[in-house]
Chains A and B, each alone.
Chain A
Amino acid sequence: MNGVSVDINHLKKGEVNLGTSIMAVTFKDGVILGADSRTTTGAYIANRVTDKLTQVYDKIWCCRSGSAADTQAITDIVRSYLTYQVGSDNFERPASVNVAASIFQELCYNNKDNLTAGIICAGYDEEKQQGEVYSIPIGGSIHKQDFAIAGSGSGFIYGYCNENFRKNMTRDETVNFIRKSLGQAIKWDGSSGGVIRMIVLTKAGIERLIFYPEETYLVPKEFEIPQAA
């Protein structure tokens, strides 16, 4: 590695990879995170119902892509830092999404030579009363965005998301936006697949959603090849 470009294909032999389609979208009442559920070791699907949406602190969650081991370890460290910070304040103030994302960024940047981790950190900020999305791609930069997409499948849906995202959508509009976007990503990306998982984070609380292949991205009936009689 030359220090300028980062080799994203340096996974060790047999390492579990999250060839992934993930996204997080802010909306009127907060933020929604979405992910596919495929985990691969080479060509083998190690888990077809993976949960790539991981809780960091109450209403701060992240979407993980890259090495499963690396992203799990990073998430554990961020969780411990946040617990320390909120705890040292006698649990009087909630953790902020900004701080969580900053810790992710710091870890990803300082250890960039040893990590394969692309993370979207998103959450509902209790003090600002709004959803926030931070993208932390490989290399350890940080980008605050209205919505973020990442993972190998995201390359197929940049255009779709750019055309269809609107600020301040309703919950249902946002769920549909994510469902359709990830549906396309899964359809065209061989390393993404399985179900679509979502986490809705609002003032009201945390809600989990799941969407099965047949109701999202499988080939619509009218395009199916007719069965021979």
Chain B
Amino acid sequence: MKCNRCEKPATFHITELTEPEGPKVLHLCEEHAREFLATDSVSPSSAISSVLAKQLKMEKVAEEIEASDKKTCPVCGITFAEFRKGGRLGCAYDYVAFEDDLEPLLVNIHSALGHSGKVPKNLRGSPERQRQLAQLREQMKLAVKKEEYEKASSLRDQIAAIEAGQLSEEETTDEELPPSDSFQSNPHDEQ
């Protein structure tokens, strides 16, 4: 459908409740819809502007969803769209790769963000570390292929060091953690 005022497609469908003539339907492109509301020419009620505001917001959300859906995890290769469809993530690194998109979802599910509770003694299992290892292994393979043996051997040492957990200290500080006590939920708060 074309805009009532130009050749562009109409993306806004406004029903104006005008008195005393009764409801008036307008089909407008985004530009003219804005103009229509801004100029106040047909005395738009506040109700209509709020509907439009909502519509604009929805449109934005739709765009955002589309952008999110294309995001791909560099480690396991899953797209955000695939996750949305199946409801299951592909690997731990997805929590890093899709962080911005998962955050609102987590708030929605748990009404909270930030882990509180048990912490394993062995903290080597961070997805960042796994990614680092994956990258280094890839680089090492490449180095071997190119017969850069010195480089490959240094990479091998790095991998071994990470695997042995010598770099785990560094990693935990890497995570930009808020002060831990802000997460400590006290059982008494729950009452």
Q: Do A and B come from one complex?
A: no
Task: Mark B residues whose CB is within 8 Å of A.
Answer: none
Task: Mark A residues whose CB is within 8 Å of B.
Answer: none
